Amino acid sequence: MGMAYFVALASAFLVLSAATALRPGRHGLFAALAYPVGWAAGELAGQGIVLEALLIGLLWWWGWPTTHWLSVVVIALAGVAVLENLALIVILFLSRAIVRKAMESAPDRPLRIPRPNDDVFGRWWRTALLVPFHPRDMQLHRNLVYGPLDRHRLDVWRLSITPTDAPVIYYLHGGAWTFGDKREQGRPMLHEFVRRGWIVVASNYRLAPRFPWPAQIEDATRALGWIKKNIATYGGDPDRVVVAGGSAGGHLASLLALSAKDPSWRPKEMSDVTDWTVRGALSFYGVLEMTGDEAHWGGLGRGIRLLLERRVVQVPYQGHESLYLSLSPYERIAPDSPPFFVVQGVNDTLVEVNVARAFVAKYRSVAFAPVYYVELPFTQHAFDVTASPRTSATTRAAVAFAESVVTSRPALTPQLVANYQVPPTRLLVAVDEKWLDAKEAASIIGPFFVVTSDNPFSRELSSEENDARRVALRSFLHRRGVDYFETLGCDPQGRWPDEAGVALRDLSREDVRSLTCVWDQFAFYEVSEDSVLVRDATSDVALA
């Protein structure tokens, strides 16, 4: 009888654990247990079924209970536990379709992601084991020094066959800014990046409460500076860096990407680093709003604010509102912000799903670069620690995103600069259904800028590819409520196909420059009734 009671209690625990994974509690003791219990049940559903089978087998071997009601209870609990865990397994595999649909239906620049059999490292048997083994041929350069303090250490991962000038992904670990290590998180995804020819950098940073804010972002910035200065030694391209992180690491990665123009956290001895930009950011269940505003946090705001006030920032929110706003990625979204990839679980009990939703909504209304948002149902915080089917799905999406933003930027040649000038190019604008020369159009509608989406970096695309890009650019402008006139750039000698573009009157020159960079163009036109200037998209200087 004693064994039967034990099996019944163990089965009841498995039932409650799986129920917590499916519908976590939000109040009291249930909220405290929601993450540790729900995470384990949600990510180890297959093991939960195996454990239940072992319990029933043990009871059978020990001796099945002769008491009818107890026998019924054991069978019922075992059945419910198995059904719940089967549901969790189905959810893991359904994540593949959810992730694919999210990426392919993104309103700006949809992305097609690879299929499971396209994985280079995350094969099915590694996914089944859930253990994030690293590639045997991975070269690991451990504990490289990027600053003067003990926590100023980073690792560089690569293969012996990784080509030179490889793209770089810089990963920041989570841990509520108070614990964690560069060796612990994001490994299934990072291993896939390594096998795909990327350089991976993972760094430690100073932890609170011993080191209060802004020590964490100062260290993340210092490590980025080290990458810009030194990663070429390890085969990386300092111009093709994306940043990534989970939870608190997602916050730091996002803040790093959104504050490239803010010198506040840069180390003085790295004044020779002139480019602090990154090509994109990947936030996994990141803390993207840092004031604890309940409009975003849905009841969890008090917890995040107490953590920040007591252990991380160590000053009260009241009276220091501007400080808390400055460390919130949500508040730093700007038109020239880089592309973003955001992943969030609906069942996350540490970071409310509305935090990610609000960030993405604001990003799509303010930034010109695309943002890709993957929202995973029945998914808890830190789901990607294990190499599950869900993790492999988000990894494929992360790879597709990262590869889309690190395209090499070719040099702008003197020949191209000469070709851009007007003349020899003839620049036409459609005004009242008539095609007019650019300066004549400016005398009617006023000064404007011209941007095209055709033939990125002067690489000639097919008419079908250019048509798709034209539709995407105009759809973007429609969603933002930006009015435009159609334009056409023509080569009178017929050496280059006509390029369709848009004339913009309601955007600033800085905004137009950002839009030009997003669409991978070398330059844009600034037109008045007196002149047509060609401006470099990266430096804003007029090209002669």
Please say if 191 is a catalytic residue: no
**HSE (side-chain half, CA atoms, 13 Å) at 186:** 33
Q: For residues 524 and 502, what is the distance between their CA atoms, to the nearest angstrom?
A: 10
What per-residue confidence (pLDDT) applies to 203?
98
Q: What contacts 515, CB < 8 A, 6 or more positions away?
A: 335, 368, 451, 504, 507, 524
Amino acid letter at 44? L
Count of CB atoms situated within 10 Å of the CB of 156: 22
* 370, 341 contact by CB (below 8 A): no
Q: For residues 177 and 247, what is the distance between their CA atoms, to the nearest angstrom?
A: 9
CA dihedral 18, 23, 27, 30 (to 10 degrees): 0
DSSP 8-state symbol, 285: S
β-strand pairing of 532-536 with 542-543: antiparallel
What per-residue confidence (pLDDT) applies to 517?
94
DSSP string of 354-423?
HHHHHHHHHHHHH-SS-EEEEEETT--TTGGGS--HHHHHHHHHHHHHHHHH--------HHHHHHHSTT
CA-based nearest residue to 315, from 237, 400, 213, 241 = 213
Residue 518 backbone phi and psi in degrees, to 5: -60, -35
* 334, 277 contact by CB (below 8 A): no
Residue numbers in the chain where pLDDT is lower than 50: none
Among the listed residues 247, 254, 283, 392, the single catalytic one is 247
Q: For residues 493 and 290, what is the distance between their CA atoms, to the nearest angstrom?
A: 57
Residue appearing with tokens 């649909």: 101
Q: For residues 87 and 81, what is the distance between their CA atoms, to the nearest angstrom?
A: 10
Please say if 348 is a catalytic residue: yes
Give me the sign of the Cα torsion angle 17, 18, 24, 27: negative
What per-residue confidence (pLDDT) applies to 390?
95
Q: For residues 382 and 385, what is the distance between their CA atoms, to the nearest angstrom?
A: 6
Query: What interhelical angle do 68-104 and 389-405 show, nearest 10?
Result: 10
Architecture of domain 106-405: 3-Layer(aba) Sandwich (3.40)
* 393, 137 contact by CB (below 8 A): no
Which residue ranges make up each domain of the chain? 2-98, 106-405, 414-543
DSSP string of 11-55?
HHHHHHHHHHHHS---SHHHHHHHHHHHHHHHH-HHHHHHHHHHH
Among the listed residues 219, 348, 384, 454, the single catalytic one is 348
Element (H, E) at 431: strand 426-431
Among the listed residues 152, 191, 296, 381, the single catalytic one is 381
Query: What interhelical angle do 28-43 and 2-22 show, nearest 10?
Result: 90
CA-based nearest residue to 460, from 450, 451, 469 = 469
What per-residue confidence (pLDDT) applies to 361?
97
What per-residue confidence (pLDDT) applies to 124?
63
Amino acid letter at 434? K
CA distances from 441 to 180, 233, 288, 428, 474 (A): 59, 51, 44, 8, 20
Bridge partners, residue 131, by sequence? none
Please say if 514 is a catalytic residue: no
**Confidence (pTM):** 0.94
On the 0-12 / 13-18 / 19+ scale of CB atoms within 10 A, 2 is exposed
Ramachandran region of residue 319, left (φ > 0), alpha (ψ -120 to 50) or beta?
left
- pLDDT tens digit sequence for 104-162: 999 988 999 988 888 887 666 566 656 676 778 899 999 999 999 999 999 999 999 99
